[in-house]
Structure 1
Amino acid sequence: MRWTHRPEGSNWGDFGADDELGRLNLLTADKVLQGVAEVREGRSFCLSLPLDYPGGNALNRLRHPPRRFTSGRGDKLNYNFELHRMNPDFTDVVSDDAVLLYTQYSTQWDALSHVGGLFDADGDGVPEPLYYNGWKAGEHICGPAGHEDALEGVNAARLGIEKMAETAVSGRAVLIDLERHCGRERVLVDYARLQQIMQADGVVVEPGDMVCLYTGFADVILEMAREPDAQRLASSCAVLDGRDPALLQWITDSGLSVLIADNYAVEAYPAREGEGCCAALPLHEHCLFKLGIHLGELWYLTELAQALRQLGRQRFMLTAPPLRLPGAVGSPVSPVALI
């Protein structure tokens, strides 16, 4: 056994000693059928930003836009390559390309190996770096030894994003329309405010539902046309207050399977000041580390939210598998909503 006791408020072991899916286990066949039942209009929505948005690195200085390129083909490039150069009888013109992609630059999923915590799981009095369900940093989630080999040896042998992809991530989803009530003002939404909004709109979240938060933040990003202003981004749109214990308890009690937003980090970052030793990203710690809840960030929810407003609905069918990229701690995603 990797641990003898688990973090307070966690569900480690509830889905099995070696579980790597967390609350995705609640995304059952019944939840898929419930999602299918929400498809009544025959309309579909792309929930991804263009993957070269937000542009620059004002949101996160460590993440950069995709860089596209092509390979060589003899003394030419393999782009607009005329195959008659190889055989005069060929009429084909061929283009291939490649991309250097930061997996969490734009519309994304966080794997459970993205954020862990320091916790004394074996009772020896020394906190150690761990991830969900006690999988260990350096043993199960491995990184490079230093800058000189930063491109090698990076691999989440456990909790990699491919585990999520294998489930197909399909089922019923619920949209909570924060933008409708908060506008584009920068406000911290705690449990009380969230419940007020949900009750006003008749939103009900049941175990296994995928929850999406529409704040309007992705709209602000698109308006900046790949030239984001860091100050404006930091002062725009509603975010969850990850320091509110009642909000974190609601996430636990609701049984939601995944938590998604159109903003950066889902929660306020930086979080408001905490007491004593605490996580910089408390909602990430609660979801990824303690409960095994995958987080979706920077989704494009605008057109879906507008359609649901017009119909007086909140539920829809969502299919959102990440790239099946073994060992990755995050992934771009092109989610599809159906109503």
Structure 2
Amino acid sequence: MNQRWQNRPEGSNWGDFGPDDQLGRVNLLTQEQVLKGVREVREGKVFCLSLPLDMPGGMVLNPRRKPPRLAATERDGVPYMNFSMQNLDPSSIDVLSDDQVTLSLQYSTQWDALAHVGAQFDVDGSGQASKVYYNGYRAGEDVLDAPDHEHDDNGCCGASQSFGARKLGIENFAVKGMQGRGVLVDFVRHYGHERTVIGYKELTEVMDADGVQVEQGDMLVLRTGFAETVLSMKGNPDADTLHNSGAVLDGADTRLLEWVTESGIAAICADNYAVEAYPARSQGDKKSLLPLHHHCLFKLGLPLAELWYLRDLAQWLSDNQRNRFLLTAPPLRLPRAVGSPVTPIATV
């Protein structure tokens, strides 16, 4: 019994980490799990796992998400880029550059917050479904609707207290730190760069072939080759080519979803867009278009990450017959946001 819900979705872990939990499976990133990651550091070599944040370029992947717009900050209409401070003090020798950016938080390399995907579900046994998120947090109460007006001049939403994720925001992951042991599964080595739908059978075959094992609290990192195709397009992505590129998980494979639950992994990080095939295979009358998102974000509180860059790390790990590393990937500590850019770092 919980103050927000009486019924929890079948197969969920709502309440298992406490009635007010906002971390879900991220709770499994314990101190011991960080130490497991640290023990994988033998060379001190670092890999950046982020795309440039202006990639993929354009709005082909998602017409809602705009590429970043970089601009100088201004004072009294004057842009502060190569600005001579003599304008303020004739004796000054200083030159100042100062900038700002407007970007969609999930345009490029990113984390999904648990407030990113919810579902219509009957949490109180009334027979009426309502919009809810992980652990029963409710739309309109805990995740507030967007206002009808534009942002104000103070840099936050006008009426900022009436918008965004009051619960389950991305800042919870930032405070946690998102550090621990990463485990790489390299689909490119087995399937190349073509589009391949990966179910439980294909995943476990690749893991067995490469000697990959995951334990509770590990962050599963999936190389599909999609981000490499994005980079090859140099900011001018072709929709048809991308649609037929890279491996994607089959979110409609119930055995795969069961494996995600049973494995105890704390997160899934992929170099593709959406991690799973979209739209998913038919699942009957009432369905989720993103069943892996539904299972992970909504039921388990297991975050997903997208559009990471993994080629260089994967090559080094393969050359050294390894698949584990220290992963450090905190998002921005931006209150109420439902996603965030991230610059993940792998240390080996």
TM-score with structure 2 setting the length: 0.95
Instruction: Give per-residue Cα distances to partners, 1:239-278, cap 9 Å, x unaligned.
Output: 1000000000000000000101000000011212221111
Instruction: Give per-residue Cα distances to partners, 1:27-81, cap 9 Å, x unaligned.
Output: 1011111100000111000000000000001000100100111232345321111
The corresponding residue for 1:178 is: 187
For residues 273 and 232 of structure 2, the distance between their equivalents in structure 1, rounded to whole angstroms, comes to: 16
Instruction: Work out the number of aligned pairs and report it.
Output: 338
The corresponding residue for 2:65 is: 63
The question of 1:311 aligning with 2:313 is answered no
The corresponding residue for 1:229 is: 238
SS in 1 for 2:56: coil
SS in 2 for 1:137: coil
Match of residue 88, structure 1, among 63, 87, 90: 90
Amino acid at match of 2:240: Q
Contact kept, 8 Å, 2:26 with 2:302, in 1: the verdict is yes
Deviation, 1:154, is: 2.4
The corresponding residue for 1:332 is: 341
The corresponding residue for 1:294 is: 303
Deviation, 1:149, is: 5.1
The corresponding residue for 2:128 is: 126
SS in 1 for 2:289: coil
Deviation, 1:301, is: 0.7
Deviation, 1:227, is: 0.3
For residues 219 and 107 of structure 1, the distance between their equivalents in structure 2, rounded to whole angstroms, comes to: 13
TM-score with structure 1 setting the length: 0.98
For residues 25 and 287 of structure 1, the distance between their equivalents in structure 2, rounded to whole angstroms, comes to: 14
The corresponding residue for 1:14 is: 16
For residues 242 and 60 of structure 1, the distance between their equivalents in structure 2, rounded to whole angstroms, comes to: 20
Match of residue 254, structure 2, among 245, 257, 263: 245
For residues 245 and 118 of structure 2, the distance between their equivalents in structure 1, rounded to whole angstroms, comes to: 28
For residues 77 and 115 of structure 2, the distance between their equivalents in structure 1, rounded to whole angstroms, comes to: 42
The corresponding residue for 2:154 is: none
For residues 77 and 194 of structure 2, the distance between their equivalents in structure 1, rounded to whole angstroms, comes to: 55
Amino acid at match of 2:69: R
For residues 71 and 312 of structure 1, the distance between their equivalents in structure 2, rounded to whole angstroms, comes to: 48
Amino acid at match of 1:97: D
> Compared with structure 1, are the counterparts of its residues 75 and 220 closer, same or farther at alpha carbon in structure 2 (3 Å cutoff)?
closer
Seq. identity, % = 56
The corresponding residue for 2:138 is: 136
For residues 31 and 72 of structure 1, the distance between their equivalents in structure 2, rounded to whole angstroms, comes to: 45
Aligned alpha-carbon RMSD (Å): 1.1
Contact kept, 8 Å, 2:332 with 2:341, in 1: the verdict is yes
For residues 130 and 305 of structure 1, the distance between their equivalents in structure 2, rounded to whole angstroms, comes to: 38
Gapped regions of structure 1 (runs ≥ 5): none
Q: Which segment is superposed worse, 17-26 or 80-89?
A: 80-89
For residues 188 and 163 of structure 2, the distance between their equivalents in structure 1, rounded to whole angstroms, comes to: 38
The question of 1:254 aligning with 2:256 is answered no
For residues 289 and 77 of structure 2, the distance between their equivalents in structure 1, rounded to whole angstroms, comes to: 51
SS in 2 for 1:173: strand
SS in 1 for 2:327: strand
